[in-house]
Structure 1
Amino acid sequence: MTDNILHDLFSALQSCVAMIAVAESCTGGQLAARITAQSGASAIFERGYVTYTNQAKQDCLGVPSAMLDKHGAVSLEVAEAMAQGAVQNSNAQIAVSTTGIAGPDGGTAEKPVGL
């Protein structure tokens, strides 16, 4: 996340008087760390979830096991469910989620490393 994107995020959330939550998988808390390292983060950051395993996604964010089985953790459907779960389980109005295959192994033709 570039400094410009962070600046824009902070400005947008401050103008809306909104809080953000993050639900992370492969980034392991790096997004939350990047946001909270900025001055003024307490005005816009509500909380972060690091849900690296499928079980954590289910327990913390309410991602259905059937969805994980059908689509896999690295999918649009699961990313959306993670963000929805972050909003539902927090006082944030907005959430963002990250999921992917960090590598160096684990990728497939359909879901390559870096996805």
Structure 2
Amino acid sequence: MSETIEDVDFPLVRYYQLPNGGLGQMEWTGGEVAPDLPEGATELTAAQYAAAYALWEQARADRLAADAAARAQAAQADYDALIAAGIPDATAQRLSGHTPPDPE
């Protein structure tokens, strides 16, 4: 890019995507020459960056929810196994980290 101070309104924000899919942004607030993007990066518009970042956030939220569900399922399986082995309920809850729902 190599813009000079005369070519740019400050601050200049550049958005990019790395070859591995990672997203980045840099803000240039002045200097003789604008910094180059990282090697292999593709420059994005602000709208493209926002859309890609929203997809990343949703994928992260989905992954965290799936991880939490898997941990809860494992804790319940541990609890069930402890109860089946004759361990008292309070101890099974404490050991497994699972608290069964109150019967209604």
Q: TM-score, normalised on structure 2?
A: 0.20
Larger relative contact order (Cα-Cα within 8 Å, sequence gap ≥ 6): 1
Structure-1-length-normalised TM-score: 0.19
Greater CA radius of gyration, 1 or 2?
2
